[in-house]
């Protein structure tokens, strides 16, 4: 034990701690300054940044023995509060720089230190500073963060006033399409937005701390589990295994009827077998996290190791064991059949190209590791708080497994530090339910970053062979596809994902004749979970790269070839239905002059450079808004003395569900002149909010936005008098009228056929045309993305700040998918850096966004979704640009330098 006197945020504090204690723990757990976040725990992400004696320090790797007495420490709480915001905090809100908000305190503290040192930095100096101090963001694509620092510097220099920056909604004006600041922004920039780990510090004293015993092999039979030594550790309450599970111990994977498995293949706690590295085998419950971690090491698990099939080709081999005995490793198959048989057409085609492709097991890499807690309330209901983005789905998926009726399980979403889709699947919800029901005490579980990366799902890899044929005029006349989805050991949503291969191969182009076949394969690598784009990045990558190959064979510029074949009136999608809108020709026309300019610039640079070559690439990016078929969402609106309260379960993982709900409600309630501050939001708590469906597939803006509008309009209908005016709250009460009204909206769609892929699965689509400009170093093979230009059409823009943020963030993740990100090696790919997360200097500051706004017929205000499209195929655009630069075609991602060097070597040997 040591005693320290520190000046924290200007106040002298006496602290008693241990030499080896981490500064982040002291600040958070002893001083309750929870604005400082802990993400990676290794000094890689900067979420824990504080200022120590004038220097930016990552507190998660700073031991207290290295903190001198009398040290001056500034945390986010000392930068500014809601009544006295620092210019950086103001600018952060104005530019929408706080999306999920988990990294925001660290960035803001870091930016304050920069501006204290240099009040007039250049944009490159800001980027250099964040790179140097390892401030990482997964949401924003970094550009809004630099924009915010530059405007904060102007505020500090007196060149602009807050009133010039701050968006204020004019009286009576529409909120749609504005830069209105999201309601959660203030709490996020001041560090008062409580995430799961922050709430964990506020739980009652009888809360148990859980840690899990994880498998260290990828496949094996469990012979024995010995918990006796772990139970002897002082402070351990219980150690649970599958024997303590009161239910079926299986997650309900909601399998398709044509799935050859039953969907109940994922155990909550492994009983007979281990199916992947990191599987949960036991739960240690103790009075403190440290005690639980100590006891985890004392659980002895004896395993008979089995062959581990770490890729789809291995699991599909004739001699491969069935990973789930009784269910074939190829457990789901689907087809694509549009128009005529393609074989004879391909034979007659003037130009034919075929290639093989692989998209990797991309890790989500949210900076906030998975975290949650659970308890049984006074009515005997199981309440689970987590990062779930599919509340009602997850209650159904875990209820039987933990031993409860579905109607007795309620999930509440904590404030979430990003998921990017991994929480479309339940992760720790089952573990928390089992532990809480076994002990009848509240239970808290927090993963570290290693567990986050090794336990949770990943983007499922696709192995694809694609073939296209064109006639002599350059019209695409046929496509043949074969794709294999490596979905890891667990089947949940694997069939749905594999269907995306039929829905988005060739998307954007009028291809009259299509034949294809896809399959889902069980392997022993990380289980597949939803990731932004959900299937589109896996299938549009081969599609968009092969388009370039076909254009080259035809002898056309890839831009012109695309323009010739994109959707126009009379076109049909790969699923055989009409496109919801025809907007691609206008989008190409907007991009054309910039493309011609980029080609000219690239040519000039290449003429002057020998060691580095430059290229430009194009990709069309398309995604649907909604789950397949007649997807529905629900909301409610209630008149109160203060205004209107709106309730829905529009789960928020940083994309802006709060501002989405507020905007839809505000627009619907404009007839009664309801001000934004009179609209209260109640969101994402199953004890209070209805089934709005999951926040995935860019469905929420359409489905839940529409449902929210319907609820508000139903309320207005009840308030409307015969003369067209509206009743007040008091008048409604006096007349005995209901004050609360529900709203439901169902997409007018049909499921895609499993056999043919034909149908009308989505109420609307999002469209993008992306141009990438790259530099390739011929000596190192390293690719640098210099500029991105995106023309996007997501229908009517609901909130400009949010849509811009989604574009920037999706494109940044596309750069990661193209060049660096992977989860393949279980020894190397287990940290943020090891997984290849892009830092600020990996993302260009030069990103141009251009919008067309074609109103969508099925959006009550004309909107589509936004979040998935920018990650549908940016990696294809970058790969096409690399080929344009140096004639190396990368078809298996990521395009690491060694792959490009190998390609260059092959060219030199020809």
Which residues does residue 616 pair with via DSSP β-bridges, in sequence order?
Answer: 773
Instruction: Please give the full DSSP string across 424-461, using - where no structure is assigned.
Output: GS-SSHHHHHHHHHHHTS-EEEE--HHHHHHHS-BPPP
Within 10 angstroms of residue 600's Cβ, the number of other Cβ atoms is 11
Alpha helices in 118-212 (DSSP H): 123-132, 143-157, 162-165, 185-190, 196-200
CA distance 180 to 868: 22
CA distance 813 to 897: 18
Closest to 125 measured CA to CA, from 893, 841, 909 = 841
CA dihedral (143, 148, 150, 151) positive or negative: positive
Closest to 168 measured CA to CA, from 104, 108, 93 = 93
Alpha helices in 303-421 (DSSP H): 312-315, 342-348, 391-402
Q: Is 293 a catalytic residue?
A: no
CA dihedral (438, 444, 449, 452) positive or negative: positive
Closest to 31 measured CA to CA, from 13, 48, 19, 45 = 13
- Is residue 616 within 8 A of residue 789, CB to CB? The reply is no
CA distance 195 to 47: 13
CA distance 68 to 73: 11
Q: Active site residue: 429, 540, 773, 868, which one?
A: 868
- Packing angle of the helix pair 143-157, 87-94 (nearest 10 deg): 140
Place of tokens 């200022």: 51
CA distance 18 to 2: 6
CA distance 361 to 840: 22
Q: Coil, strand or helix: which one is 465? A: strand
Q: For residue 542, what are the contacts with CB-CB under 8 A and spacing of at least 6?
A: 355, 357, 462, 464, 466, 505, 891
CA distance 211 to 297: 10
CA distance 18 to 63: 9
Instruction: Please give the full DSSP string across 806-868, using - where no structure is assigned.
Output: HHHHHHHHHHHHHHT-----TTTSSSTTTTT---GGGS-S-EEEEE-----TTSTTSB---SS
CA distance 882 to 818: 10
Please classify residue 177 by burial: count the beta carbons closer than 10 Å to its beta carbon, then call 0-12 exposed, 13-18 middle and 19+ buried: middle
Q: Residue 426 CA to chain centroid, in angstroms?
A: 15
Catalytic residues: 868
């Amino acid at each position: 034990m040591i005693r320290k006197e520190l000046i924290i945020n200007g106040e002298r504090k006496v602290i008693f701690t241990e030499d080896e204690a981490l500064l982040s723990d002291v600040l958070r757990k002893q001083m309750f300054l929870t604005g400082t976040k802990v993400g990676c725990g290794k000094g890689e992400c900067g979420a824990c940044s504080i200022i120590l004696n004038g220097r930016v320090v990552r507190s998660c790797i700073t031991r207290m023995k290295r903190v001198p007495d009398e040290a001056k420490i500034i945390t986010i709480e000392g930068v500014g509060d809601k009544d006295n915001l620092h210019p950086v905090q103001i600018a952060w809100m104005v530019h929408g720089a706080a999306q999920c908000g988990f990294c925001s305190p660290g960035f803001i503290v870091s930016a304050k230190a920069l501006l204290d040192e240099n009040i007039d930095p250049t944009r490159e100096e800001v980027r250099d500073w964040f790179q140097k101090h390892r401030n990482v963001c997964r949401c924003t694509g970094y550009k809004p963060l630099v924009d915010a620092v530059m405007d904060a510097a102007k505020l500090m220099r007196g060149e602009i006033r807050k009133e010039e920056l701050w968006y204020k909604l004019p009286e009576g004006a529409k909120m749609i399409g504005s830069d209105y600041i999201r309601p959660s922004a203030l709490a996020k920039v001041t560090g008062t937005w409580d995430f799961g780990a922050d709430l964990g510090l506020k739980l009652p004293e009888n809360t148990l701390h859980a840690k899990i015993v994880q498998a260290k092999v990828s496949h094996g039979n469990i012979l024995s589990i010995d918990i006796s030594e772990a139970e002897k550790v002082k402070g351990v309450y219980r150690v649970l295994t599958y024997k303590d599970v009161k239910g079926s111990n299986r997650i309900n994977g909601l399998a398709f009827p044509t799935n050859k498995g039953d969907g109940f293949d994922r155990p909550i706690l492994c009983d007979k077998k281990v199916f992947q590295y990191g599987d949960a085998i036991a739960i240690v419950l103790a009075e403190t996290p440290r005690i639980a971690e100590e006891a985890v090491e004392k659980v002895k698990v004896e395993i008979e190791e089995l062959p581990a099939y770490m890729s789809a080709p291995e699991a599909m081999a004739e001699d491969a064991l069935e990973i789930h005995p009784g269910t074939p490793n190829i457990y789901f198959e689907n087809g694509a059949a549009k128009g005529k048989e393609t074989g004879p057409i391909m034979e007659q085609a003037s130009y034919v190209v075929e290639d093989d492709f692989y998209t990797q097991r991309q890790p989500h890499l949210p900076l906030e590791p998975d975290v949650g807690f659970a308890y049984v309330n006074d009515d005997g209901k199981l309440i689970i708080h987590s990062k779930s983005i599919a509340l009602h789905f997850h209650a159904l998926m875990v209820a039987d497994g933990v031993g409860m009726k579905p109607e007795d399980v309620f999930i509440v979403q904590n404030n979430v530090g990003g998921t990017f889709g991994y929480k479309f699947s339940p992760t720790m919800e089952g573990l928390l339910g089992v532990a809480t029901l076994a002990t009848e005490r509240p239970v808290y579980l927090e993963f570290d970053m290693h567990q986050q990366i090794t336990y949770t799902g990943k983007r499922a890899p696709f192995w694809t062979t694609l073939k296209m044929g064109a006639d002599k005029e350059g019209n695409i006349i046929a496509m043949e596809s074969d794709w294999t989805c490596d979905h890891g050991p667990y089947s949940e949503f694997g069939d749905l994902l594999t269907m995306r291969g039929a829905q988005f191969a060739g998307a954007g182009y009028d291809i009259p004749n299509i034949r294809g076949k896809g399959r889902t394969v069980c392997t022993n690598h990380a289980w597949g979970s939803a990731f932004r784009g959900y299937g589109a990045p896996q299938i549009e990558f081969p599609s968009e790269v092969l388009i370039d190959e076909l254009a080259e064979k035809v002898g056309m510029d890839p831009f012109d070839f695309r323009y010739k074949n994109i959707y126009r009136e009379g076109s049909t999608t790969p699923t055989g239905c009409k496109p919801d809108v025809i907007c691609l020709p206008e989008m190409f026309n907007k991009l054309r002059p910039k493309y011609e300019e980029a080609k000219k610039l690239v040519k000039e640079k290449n003429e002057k450079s020998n060691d580095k070559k430059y290229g430009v690439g194009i990709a069309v990016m398309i995604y649907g808004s909604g789950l397949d078929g007649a997807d529905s969402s629900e909301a409610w609106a209630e008149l109160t003395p203060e205004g209107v309260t709106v309730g829905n379960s529009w789960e928020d993982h940083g994309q802006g569900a709060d501002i989405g709900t507020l905007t839809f409600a505000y627009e619907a309630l404009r007839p009664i002149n309801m001000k934004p501050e009179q609209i209260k939001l109640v969101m994402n708590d199953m004890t209070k909010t209805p089934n709005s469906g999951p926040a995935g597939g860019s469905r929420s803006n359409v489905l839940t936005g529409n449902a929210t509008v319907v609820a508000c309009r139903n309320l207005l209908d009840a308030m409307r008098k015969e003369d067209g005016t509206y009743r007040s709250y008091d008048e409604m009460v006096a007349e005995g009228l209901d004050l609360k009204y529900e709203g439901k909206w169902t997409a007018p769609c049909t499921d895609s056929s499993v056999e043919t892929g034909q149908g009308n699965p989505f109420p609307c689509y999002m469209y993008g045309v992306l141009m990438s400009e790259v530099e390739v170093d011929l000596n190192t093979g390293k690719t640098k993305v210099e500029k991105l230009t995106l023309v996007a059409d997501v229908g009517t823009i609901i909130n400009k700040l949010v849509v811009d943020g989604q574009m920037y963030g999706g494109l940044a993740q596309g750069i990661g998918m193209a060049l660096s990100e992977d989860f393949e090696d279980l020894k190397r790919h287990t940290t943020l850096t090891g997984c290849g997360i892009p830092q600020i200097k990996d993302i260009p500051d030069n990103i141009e966004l251009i919008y067309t706004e074609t109103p969508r017929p099925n959006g009550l205000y004309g909107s589509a979704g936004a979040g998935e499209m920018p990650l549908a195929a940016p990696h294809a655009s970058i790969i096409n640009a690399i080929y344009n630069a140096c004639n190396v075609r990368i078809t298996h991602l990521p395009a690491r330098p060694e792959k490009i060097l190998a390609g260059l070597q092959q060219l030199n040997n020809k």
